[in-house]
């Protein structure tokens, strides 16, 4: 595949999604008022009780995940973490706060060109050194921390089994390890270490079917406060970019995808012209609640050739040329799953 196209597609994968469905708020603040039935007393209680009583008091993996979602939405915290993949480390700072009736969030890449995201309630603004700043309607920042961790946890159970493994120690804090295992083995697994005291994420690892580590997020700092920080409160009076109007007409494509792993739903349909090469590319994006998978199709004069696969951490980019079209599948999925998706593309 042309290296310039490869670079452009990989860049598209890292950009926040302006989907037709996911840009709308999936739930209001009322959806998260009822705190899951886990608290610090349950997590640390060491009284002498019978095994039956003990098992009844031990939180389930689902309850731990619900607590994670609640904590991300409701706690005031200042944290730092590092994303490690391909022997590279990207450091981020992540702040969250609740000020009266406002939910505030800030995520910043600390190295290299500016890459910053801020959220005030259901308005998310993105600042990037290579793009004009813009704002979209969304109830979470699209970034290294999967949006699903602060969303509808039960939806993830359609595609993943939740397994409570045991206790560990991360960042000097007691942590509970929860594994998210693919039900159909068509996607990668997640290992999550959650802070016993607060329920927040301390570490996350993407694991392939052989148990190999592909990519991980390691927190290096976590401070939980009673009130929202002054840095976040300044967002309430900051002048943010204008909200984009994304109510565009959905393009009609001349192709369709006939197979995807169960649980994936269509969230975006696009037709774009890639800058620099003036080539039209059509795309579909699907999501299973945790993972995005994009399929890009463009016309080409090149002859059919064998499938090529490039991988960066857990992200796979598979390219296939057939029938006068180039088909690219991009996502955090196994390469054989990506190939099955590419093979299922049919042209009208």
- Indicate where the chain has its CATH 3.30.200.100 domain(s): 255-347
Q: Percentage of residues in the chain with pLDDT exceeding 90?
A: 69
Q: Please, which pLDDT band fits residue 340 given cuts at 50, 70 and 90?
A: very high
**Domain 24-236: CATH architecture, name and number where available:** Clam (2.50)
Q: What is the spatial distance between Cα 102 and Cα 237, in angstroms, rounded to a whole number?
A: 12
The string of pLDDT tens digits covering residues 175-210 is 999 999 999 999 999 999 999 999 999 999 999 999
- 107: closest CA among 68, 137, 146, 71? 146
Q: Where in the chain is the domain with CATH 2.50.20.10?
A: 24-236
Calpha distance 119→102 (Å, rounded) = 10
Q: What is the overall mean pLDDT for the chain?
A: 85
Q: How large is the average pLDDT for residues 335-343?
A: 97
Which of the residue ranges 20-34, 60-74, 232-246, 284-298 would you say has the lowest mean pLDDT? 20-34
Please determine, for residue 9, whether its predicted confidence score (pLDDT) is greater than 50: yes
| Helix (H), strand (E) at residue 166 | strand 160-170
Residue 92's pLDDT is 98
Which DSSP string corresponds to 230-241? HHHHGGGTS-PP
pLDDT at 73 over 70: yes
Tens-place pLDDT, residues 272-313: 876 666 788 999 999 998 999 999 999 998 888 889 999 999
Q: Which CATH number fits domain 255-347: 3.40.718.10, 2.160.10.10, 3.40.50.1370, 3.30.200.100?
A: 3.30.200.100
Tokens of 265: 């739903």
pLDDT value of residue 102: 95
**Which of 184 and 27 is assigned the larger pLDDT?**
184
CA 58 to chain centre: 28
pLDDT confidence of residue 277: 63
Question: pTM for this one?
Answer: 0.82
pLDDT higher than 50, residue 39: no
pLDDT in tens, 86-124: 889 999 999 999 988 899 999 999 999 999 999 999 999
């Amino acid at each position: 595949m042309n290296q310039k196209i490869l670079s452009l597609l990989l860049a598209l994968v890292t950009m926040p999604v302006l989907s037709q469905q996911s840009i709308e708020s999936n739930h209001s603040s009322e959806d998260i008022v009822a705190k899951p039935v886990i608290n610090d007393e349950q997590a640390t209680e060491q009284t002498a009780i019978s095994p039956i009583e003990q098992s009844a008091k031990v939180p389930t993996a689902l309850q731990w995940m619900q607590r994670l979602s609640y904590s991300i939405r409701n706690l005031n915290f200042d944290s730092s973490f590092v994303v490690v993949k391909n022997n590279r480390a990207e450091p981020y700072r992540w702040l969250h706060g609740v000020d009266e009736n406002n939910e505030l969030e800030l995520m910043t890449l600390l190295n290299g060109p500016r890459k910053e995201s801020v959220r005030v309630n259901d308005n998310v603004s993105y600042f990037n050194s290579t793009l004009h700043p813009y704002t979209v309607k969304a109830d979470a920042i699209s970034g290294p921390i999967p949006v699903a961790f602060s969303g509808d946890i039960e939806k993830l159970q359609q595609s993943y089994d939740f397994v409570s493994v045991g206790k560990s120690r991360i960042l000097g804090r007691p942590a509970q390890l929860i594994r998210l295992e693919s039900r159909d083995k068509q996607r990668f697994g997640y290992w999550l270490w959650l802070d016993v005291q607060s329920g927040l994420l301390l570490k996350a690892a993407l694991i392939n079917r052989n148990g190999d580590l592909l990519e991980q997020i390691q927190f290096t700092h976590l401070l939980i406060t009673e009130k929202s920080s002054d840095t976040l409160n300044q967002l309430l009076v900051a002048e943010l970019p204008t909200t984009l109007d994304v109510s565009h007409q959905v393009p009609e494509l001349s192709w369709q995808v006939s197979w995807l792993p169960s649980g994936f739903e269509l969230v975006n349909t696009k037709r774009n012209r890639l800058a620099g090469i003036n080539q039209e590319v059509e795309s579909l994006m699907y999501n299973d609640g945790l993972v995005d998978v994009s399929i890009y199709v463009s016309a080409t004069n090149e002859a059919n050739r064998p499938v090529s696969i490039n991988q960066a951490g857990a992200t796979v980019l598979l390219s296939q040329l057939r029938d006068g079209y180039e088909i690219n599948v991009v996502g955090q999925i196994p390469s054989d799953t990506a190939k099955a998706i590419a093979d299922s593309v049919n042209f009208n």
